[in-house]
Amino acid sequence: MKAVSLLTMILMLVCSSSWGQEPTYQQGVNIFIETGVTQPDRVPTWYAPMVAMPYAPVFEILATKGTSGRYYQHTYAVTIKDMIKWHGHDCEGITHVASSCKMAFDILFPDGIIDRSVLKGISGTGPCWSDGVAFLTGARLQYGNLGFFKNRDYNHAVILYREDTGVAVLATWKKGINNIPGEPVVLPGEITWQPEVDMRKVMDLKRVIKNPTGQPDPYNVDLLRYYQWRHVNDILSRPLSESYQAEIIENFRWEDWVDTTKIVPNPHKRTDDRRKNYPYRERPVSGPVSAGK
């Protein structure tokens, strides 16, 4: 762990009343996890040109070994390119949810190690956003740790909740890069730079093209796609904090935010994290042993 990251964590623990619980592990104290040991896929391709941009987010993910194993001792790297292949297509939504999650993770995990075993997430109902949250956090509807906002104003925001420390972070875009007609930006931040693409033109096109009963001009369908491509590459050419914002939610309660009509009433118990801190053998194996020894 870098000294700066450790200092950041200490300051957040001291200064925020939200940090009321102990983390599952303490990097460098009772576990030693190596990061940066897998090469992130930042090779641009036709469906993911934005990964080559200087501020395209990279996530260092910590998982458990198999369905009943301990923590891995290394993280693996994830990029927007990986998210696109899982989601099924590239779209501006994947870039926005990835960037919003990165802002939240920087608060939740100051050491840069994103522990999938302690996360819950809330998103809008759009598949770009819910898929992005599920992919990065491991949260799933069947486990009751993935939800949808009850307030549609938050459709293009995320809440990521770290169960072991009890911290929840709301993250979204800043006013100025948002381009959903009729939808507000739910945090007060605004951009201070000028986008290459006029968001008013994008919203005008979306009003026609995303109307299920509309008959848009074929050229305008291509034009919207071009605008979106330019927009996400423009955003990722500068630090994410210039375009996205995040804040801790004090006194967070899951039921205050989640649409209870869109949950699994009797969720399954998650089991892949039950042995994550299981102790190791006291001595090496020196010969044949029976099961459980």
Q: What is the CATH number of domain 3-262?
A: 3.30.1330.130
**What are the domain boundaries of the chain?**
3-262
Work out the average pLDDT over 5-26: 50
Surface-to-core class of residue 251, CB atoms within 10 Å of its CB (0-12 exposed, 13-18 middle, 19+ buried): exposed
Structure confidence by residue, pLDDT tens digits, 193-242: 999 999 999 999 999 999 988 889 999 999 999 999 999 999 999 999 99
Residues contacting 142, CB < 8 A, separation 6+: 264, 267, 268
Distance (Å, whole) CA 110 – CA 179? 30
Q: Express each pLDDT in 102-147 by its tens digit.
A: 999 999 999 999 999 999 999 999 999 999 999 999 999 999 999 9
Residue with tokens 């201070």: 192
Which tens digits make up the pLDDT trace of 235-286?
Answer: 999 999 999 999 999 999 999 999 999 999 999 999 889 999 888 888 877 7
Q: Characterize 254-292 residue by residue with b for buried, 16 or more Cβ atoms within 10 angstroms of its Cβ, and e for exposed.
A: beebbeeeeeeeeeeeeebbebbeeeeeeeeeeeeeeee
Q: What is the pTM of this model?
A: 0.89
